[in-house]
Structure 1
């Protein structure tokens, strides 16, 4: 099976529990760091799936590695190589599908409830309402031909799917350690941020263990549903007679 490309852009925004899922199911992957490398692969045929993680950058920035990623995602869409986008990755997928990415009405940082559409409940096996972790300022329009999967009080478009390509405007992959480290690294940013959907570091870390445990159940269900779509190698058993023909 071709490896799943995991595009990571920030040290504090790693693949987290996604790696646990891939390892547990013996799914090969390749970690790629476009922001630090300065470039990204553009040929999607080398991969069985593509995962795009979060970033401190905006998808509308004119950086070589962002343009490479756009080319990779557009190639994956043409070849129907499944894509899974988290936050920045969701915005990148929306942009690759021709949708607009722009500033949200307010910053969305911390834990918040979101609602899952009936179609997504059935497709992903999720409950009607879940609580996810967020850290974003931008939002996307729903691309042509795609279906909204999640929506929130302060950000309407929290997710969409189109075929085997799924996007989440939030973070399902985080762990206790990654949230703690992210808050520490972004302490100055948290002090500057304000608005009805912004939590303080204290609010984010309160009850963190229980919040992460609940999120991991949602993440595992979602990752299982997405990886189930991946193309697997087909093995044909040969009979004893044909083996010696």
Structure 2
């Protein structure tokens, strides 16, 4: 069975909701720990089903050698039509690889923010079954442009370019991959990063308010996205047992 490669950039920025689901679905995966100096593959072999890029506090514009290596790997994936998933920094890497740009925002967007669905056919296909009141957890100071030929899925008030899909590649600016425990840790580690304003950056108290309820609500969107993305890899014909698990669990 094909496995997933998950790219971790910093030890405290993980994807517990995603990895928990992969274990539940018995999907094989390997974490490439960039923070520990793990090598980035220079090609994608036949036993690899997809690539997933997690977040990080660095910028895709920083002169770090592994950034260009990951960007090149995403371009190889595009050529081979291998599914790619990215969250926050990961989505910015996909945008950059596909010709988009990543720039600093006037104000950071940190906290729970209501999303608005984009008015296009593909966005409606992805989102039509979801509640209209979903808030996503954002924590970023840079934003990507929607790459050419990509479809814009949803937006927030303070950062319109929140999510896009192109062929079998999906990028989300929000951290839809985390859980409440991880967010609590981030609020301790990065509390200095939070300077509340009247909108885009919320107080720690507000972010913590009803945290599990908000996570559960966000994960309705997360699971819908993961169901589509994983079904591109583990199809009914190529991996029927995993496919059925994906359909029933997600």
Decide: shared fold, TM above 0.5: yes
| Aligned pairs for 1:81-100 within 5 A | 81-100=82-101
| Aligned pairs for 1:1-245 within 5 A | 1-37=1-37, 39-45=39-45, 46-118=47-119, 119-123=122-126, 125-191=129-195, 194=197, 196-232=199-235, 233=238
Report the CA distance between 1:150 and its aligned residue.
1.1
Report the CA distance between 1:2 and its aligned residue.
2.0
Comparing 19-28 with 159-168, greater Cα deviation is found at 19-28
**What does the per-residue CA deviation read over 1:155-174, in whole Å, with 9 as the maximum and x for residues that have no partner?**
01001110110010111111
CA separation of 1:195/1:55 partners in 2, compared to 1, >3 Å: closer, same or farther?
farther
The residue matched to 1:108 in structure 2 has which SS? Answer: strand
**What does the per-residue CA deviation read over 1:199-230, in whole Å, with 9 as the maximum and x for residues that have no partner?**
12111111112111212222122111110111
CA separation of 1:220/1:18 partners in 2, compared to 1, >3 Å: closer, same or farther?
same
Q: Which runs of 5+ in 2 are unaligned?
A: 241-250
| Partner Cα distance (1:234, 1:217) in 2 | 24
Q: How many residues align?
A: 234
CA separation of 1:17/1:148 partners in 2, compared to 1, >3 Å: closer, same or farther?
same
| Partner Cα distance (1:195, 1:9) in 2 | 31
Q: CA RMSD in A?
A: 1.9
The residue matched to 2:221 in structure 1 has which SS? Answer: helix
TM-score of the superposed pair, with normalisation by structure 1: 0.89
**1:238 is matched with which residue?**
none
**What does the per-residue CA deviation read over 1:81-125, in whole Å, with 9 as the maximum and x for residues that have no partner?**
100110100100000001111112321001111112252231354
Mapped contact 1:76–1:82 kept (Cα < 8 A)? yes
The residue matched to 1:19 in structure 2 has which SS? Answer: helix
TM-score of the superposed pair, with normalisation by structure 2: 0.87
Comparing 4-13 with 40-49, greater Cα deviation is found at 40-49
The runs of 4+ residues in structure 1 deviating greater than 6 Å are none
| Partner Cα distance (2:211, 2:173) in 1 | 20
Report the CA distance between 1:194 and its aligned residue.
4.7
